[in-house]
Amino acid sequence: MLVSCACAILHRHRRLDNNMTSVFNTNIILTTADPFSMFKKSRQKYDTLRQSPIYLHSSMDLKSFRVRASKKKGRLTAFLQKLDTIVPEDMPQLVAEIDATVWRDIDCTHCANCCKTMTPTFTPKDVKRIAAHLNMTPKNFRDKWLHKEEDTGDWVNVNQPCQFLINDMCSIYEVRPVDCAEFPHHNKKPFDLYNDTFVQNLHRCPATFTLIERLEKRVRDEYDW
């Protein structure tokens, strides 16, 4: 876990399990045991957070999600901004543990809100790969579907929702842009360097909202915050 020299490192109220050994070497935390062992006793407590009706697999009520996200965005944004300077000592394990619970509740195929409200950045390799899949030349693909942003020079979709979204499913999933494949970027390391991205996505992505909501509660409950 990389932590800038200006950051403080949060420590748990609880003593870590005896079988959990952390070796601190400058900015790196190495663990010699199961990184999730410390969370097993408290897993049941936090599983109760997964009962919200807007996150059932059968459907995604995006209207209810937007209302809830709007109400909590200020608090969660403040939490993420604080994470820029105060980082839990076991942040990678903490995020991985909570993120695993998120994907037990969130099914992207019943949402697709990112495809409806955002656009990926298409790299040259993305354009070449997708164009070939569609039996088009890269130039024809760009001319038909993309435009170049003046401020960044990035190639992005002209249309929203995405032209390749059909019945809330990606019709080019196997060759989709890397930006789409990596979304919502929960696995980025170090996690706290992407706080601005998560702030932007709080009201767009139910998975990101759920992750940050649960992370905030976990940190407030278990750390000297």
Condensed to tens digits (0 to 9), the pLDDT of residues 98-154 reads 999 999 999 988 899 999 999 999 999 999 999 999 999 999 999 999 999 999 999
* Mean pLDDT over each residue of the chain, to the nearest integer: 79
Distance CA 105, CA 170 (A): 20
Residue 221 per-residue DSSP state: H
The residues with which 122 forms a beta bridge, in sequence order, are 155
No. of helices (H) and no. of strands (E), the chain: 9, 9
CA angle 121, 123, 125 (to 5 degrees): 145
Residue 174: is its pLDDT beyond 80?
yes
14-66 residue pLDDT tens: 433 333 333 323 333 333 344 333 333 333 433 443 334 334 344 578 999 99
Judge contact between 197 and 191, C-beta under 8 A.
Answer: no
The whole-model pTM stands at 0.71
d(CA 169, CA 152): 28
Inter-residue contact 73 to 203 (CB < 8 Å): yes
* Residues whose CB is less than 8 angstroms from the CB of residue 81 and which lie 6 or more positions away in sequence, other chains included: 195, 199
Q: In the structure encoding, which two tokens stand for residue 112, read together?
A: 């697709």
CB 105 within 8 A of CB 55: yes
Backbone dihedral angles phi then psi of residue 86, each to the nearest 5 degrees: -125, 115
CA–CA dist 78, 198 (Å, integer): 12
The C-alpha torsion from 12 through 50 and 110 to 215, rounded to 10°, is -20
